[in-house]
Chains A and B, each alone.
Chain A
Amino acid sequence: MSRQATRLDAKKVNSEFLTLTYGALVTQMLRDFENVEDVNKQLERIGYNMGMRLIEDFLARTSAPRCLEMRETADRIQQAFRIYLNIQPTISNWSAASDEFSLIFDSNPLTEFVELPADLTNLRYSAILSGCIRGALEMVQLEVQCWFVQDQLKGDNVTELRVKFVRRLEEVIPAGED
């Protein structure tokens, strides 16, 4: 990879390249782990670790201030999907308390060219996305839960990712002198 001075510009990569790389990762993990549940867990963990770093990149790019409520957060997540995956999920199904919403994807670049074999119905193929959201939001003091409600790979019309606000993490007070 060449390093230029203007590295913050959007780097264009063919999305198929990402799709196939991710596909190779999932395939490898299915070989490495006996059961599918472990693969789901690992993918989520990888996503979490990515999210932890990705958030810094996102904040630096957008210089977005702190969010004061979940609706703002939802917009930011939408924006992040636009930046990193060039797709625009729809935000919908807000809970009455405004602490839960869904991201609806008409298409998901990760699952392009993918068909799930019948014995892998438990596999959450795009688990990396939910991990990513969780990791990124944790870095900005928001604890959330994130899970798939619908998945195009399992025959649904759209892919639906549900995000639920759990709590706001407190700032750490510096350790006193002993």
Chain B
Amino acid sequence: MTIFNMYIFDKFGTLMYYVEWNRTKKSGITREEEAKLTYGMLFSIKSFVSKISPHDPREGFLYYKTNRYALHYLETPSGLKFVLNTDTAAINVKELLQQLYAKIWVEYVVRDPLWTPGTPVTSELFQNKLDEFVKQSPIFGIRNI
């Protein structure tokens, strides 16, 4: 059980926030390029999923899995995108992201009058709360003892 890293994008594809916990392999490109690449891929998957779906997709793209990690995706109706990479055994990540959105993002970013919508988040309070929140989740693993 591990959580590797997380990206938060807004609806314009701006990287609002990036954080990593135990990422052993770096991508070898800059943070900005990596974010762009990730966002582009998510965008493509999303449109692919909705075009190919034989039913009306209510939820759309949720996650993909490789043999080493899983990428979980939550998009709010306001276009905010939470992307969380975990190991393949992690469960209930969708609920975790939903909680994270309600309890951390809304609480410490949206309600922060010093934050201008559309700009990356630099609030230290948010960073601490997010870190705390992720580390106390059951899927973070045992490293937090």
Contacts and interface: CB of A to CB of B under 8 A. Distances in A.
Interface string B48-90: 0000000000100000000000000000111110000000000
B79 A61 contact: no
**On chain B, which size bracket covers the interface?**
20 to 34
Interface stretch (B18-26, B100-108, B137-145): B100-108
A53 B117 contact: yes
A66 B80 CA distance: 13
Interface string A57-95: 101110111110000000000000000000000000000
A67 B98 CA distance: 18
A96 interface: no
A172 to B, nearest CB: 5
Nearest to A63: B98
Given A172-B11, A174-B40, A175-B13, A57 B79 contact: no
A46 interface: no
A53 B111 contact: yes
A56 B43 contact: no
B127 to A, nearest CB: 16
A135 to B, nearest CB: 10
B110 interface: yes
B77 A140 contact: yes
A171 B111 contact: no
A56 B11 contact: no
Given A8-B103, A60-B106, A65-B58, A172 B13 contact: yes
Contacts of B58: 65
A67 B13 CA distance: 22
11 contacts: A7-B107, A8-B103, A56-B110, A57-B111, A63-B98, A139-B79, A140-B77, A140-B78, A174-B43, A175-B13, A177-B36
